[in-house]
């Protein structure tokens, strides 16, 4: 006869915070999958709702989470799962997204955080209502080579090569300076039409997937009613600045326009 142990310890479970919303229908949450593969759930408090995943502290507690954040494959999977939840919520209304890897030890801590930050969270939800985040990326357009063929003159072949190389570098630096000034002008113009704008650091080519260097990585909070005008402006700015290739992306949850605040003692932040 085989005896089955029934007193094995059950791993403690925390709450991975995805986002805060005004309300959430149970039917909506039932079809959104969280970090553990099961449906996300609501933690209501102070007239708001935190949307969380059940998170085993064996994997998502402070120490194991710090180790996992060093594993790029694990980090990518976690980021995709987290963003998918936030994106699904954003399709249904304003949402305050939590930063990746914000984990509370239990639902009570989540509720306490909502109560403590209620005024700030309500203000943010009000500001995001009827608005979306859009991204505009600007890439340097490679110009035609301006350096002509040079015959070997005084100084020989080596000297001619150095002249050509110096001229090429000068032309490249000039293109980059012009593109940088154009990126500043584009961002300033878009900020005038958007509710708010923010510039992020340009992405590395390995991350952007583009062959050209990025000189503008802007995020803009745009009223839904203003979106046609904003889209048209991006196109006209691209025509006005031929040294830049502009790419409009979105809509995105408003990650760029949410104030970051410390959470509970178990919160672990993504490394910068």
Identify the pLDDT of residue 8: 39
pLDDT tens column, 88-99: 999 999 999 998
Q: Based on the fold, state whether residues 161 and 225 are members of the same structural domain.
A: yes
Comparing 102-111, 119-128, 168-177, 179-188, the range with the smallest average pLDDT is 168-177
% of the chain residues with pLDDT over 70: 78
Q: Is residue 177 part of a domain?
A: yes
Identify the pLDDT of residue 148: 40
pLDDT tens column, 167-178: 555 655 666 677
Q: Based on the fold, state whether residues 105 and 20 are members of the same structural domain.
A: yes
- Nearest C-alpha neighbor of 247 from the set 256, 255, 237, 257: 237
Average pLDDT of the residues in 207-228: 89
| Residue 187, number of CB atoms within 10 A of its CB | 20
Q: Based on the fold, state whether residues 83 and 159 are members of the same structural domain.
A: no
Q: Based on the fold, state whether residues 124 and 154 are members of the same structural domain.
A: no
Assess whether pLDDT exceeds 90 at residue 101. Answer: no
Confidence of residue 63 (pLDDT cuts 50, 70, 90): confident
Identify the pLDDT of residue 262: 45
Q: Based on the fold, state whether residues 37 and 61 are members of the same structural domain.
A: yes
Q: Based on the fold, state whether residues 136 and 242 are members of the same structural domain.
A: yes
Q: Based on the fold, state whether residues 168 and 118 are members of the same structural domain.
A: no
The per-residue pLDDT of the chain, averaged, comes to 82
Average pLDDT of the residues in 239-259: 91
Q: Which of 109, 129, 149 is the last residue of a domain?
A: 129
Which range marks the domain in which residue 107 is found?
13-129
| Vertex 74 angle, CA 69 and 78, to 5° | 85
Q: Is residue 143 part of a domain?
A: yes
Do strands 244-252 and 131-140 pair parallel, antiparallel, or not at all (unpaired)? Answer: antiparallel
Q: Based on the fold, state whether residues 156 and 241 are members of the same structural domain.
A: yes
Q: Kindly state the tokens that stand for 109.
A: 């801590």
Q: Based on the fold, state whether residues 68 and 105 are members of the same structural domain.
A: yes
Q: Based on the fold, state whether residues 120 and 136 are members of the same structural domain.
A: no
Q: Is residue 265 part of a domain?
A: no
Assess whether pLDDT exceeds 80 at residue 77. Answer: yes
Residue with the bigger pLDDT between 251 and 1: it is: 251
Q: Is residue 183 part of a domain?
A: yes
Residue with the bigger pLDDT between 56 and 255: it is: 255
| Domain count within the chain | 2
| Residue 264, number of CB atoms within 10 A of its CB | 18
pLDDT tens column, 28-41: 999 999 988 899 99
Q: Which of 129, 151, 180 is the last residue of a domain?
A: 129
CA–CA distance, 179 with 125 (Å, rounded to integer)? 36
CA–CA distance, 196 with 246 (Å, rounded to integer)? 19
Identify the pLDDT of residue 6: 47
CA–CA distance, 59 with 68 (Å, rounded to integer)? 8
Q: Based on the fold, state whether residues 149 and 84 are members of the same structural domain.
A: no
Identify the pLDDT of residue 55: 84
Q: Which of 114, 129, 144 is the last residue of a domain?
A: 129
Average pLDDT of the residues in 66-82: 88
Q: Based on the fold, state whether residues 96 and 109 are members of the same structural domain.
A: yes
Residue 229: give its domain's CATH number: 3.30.70
Average pLDDT of the residues in 227-233: 97
Assess whether pLDDT exceeds 70 at residue 11. Answer: no
Residue with the bigger pLDDT between 6 and 199: it is: 199
Q: Is residue 267 part of a domain?
A: no
- Nearest C-alpha neighbor of 252 from the set 225, 207, 222, 215: 222
**pTM of the predicted protein model:** 0.75
């Amino acid at each position: 006869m085989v005896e089955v142990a029934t007193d094995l310890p059950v791993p403690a479970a925390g709450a991975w915070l995805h986002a805060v919303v005004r309300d959430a229908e149970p039917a909506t949450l039932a079809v959104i999958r969280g970090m553990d593969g099961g449906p996300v759930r609501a933690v209501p408090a102070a007239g708001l709702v935190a949307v969380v995943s059940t998170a085993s502290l064996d994997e998502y507690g402070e120490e194991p989470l710090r180790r996992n954040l060093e594993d790029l494959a694990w980090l990518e999977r976690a980021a995709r799962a987290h963003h998918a939840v936030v994106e699904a919520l954003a399709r249904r209304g304003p949402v305050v997204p939590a930063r990746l890897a914000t984990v509370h030890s239990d639902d009570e801590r989540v509720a306490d955080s909502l109560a403590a930050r209620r005024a700030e969270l309500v203000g943010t939800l009000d500001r995001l209502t009827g608005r979306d985040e859009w991204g505009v990326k600007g890439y340097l357009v490679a110009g035609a080579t301006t350096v002509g063929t040079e015959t070997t003159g005084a100084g020989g072949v080596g000297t001619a090569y150095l002249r050509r190389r110096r001229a090429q570098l000068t032309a490249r630096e000039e293109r980059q300076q012009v593109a940088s000034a154009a990126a500043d002008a584009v961002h300033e113009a878009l900020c005038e039409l958007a509710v708010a704008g923010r510039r992020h650091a340009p992405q590395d080519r390995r991350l952007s997937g583009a062959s050209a260097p990025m000189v503008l990585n802007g995020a803009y909070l745009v009223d839904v009613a203003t979106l046609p005008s904003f889209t048209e402006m991006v196109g006209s700015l691209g025509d006005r600045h031929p040294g830049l290739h502009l790419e409009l992306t979105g809509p995105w949850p408003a990650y760029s326009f949410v104030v970051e605040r410390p959470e509970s003692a178990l919160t672990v932040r993504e490394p910068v």
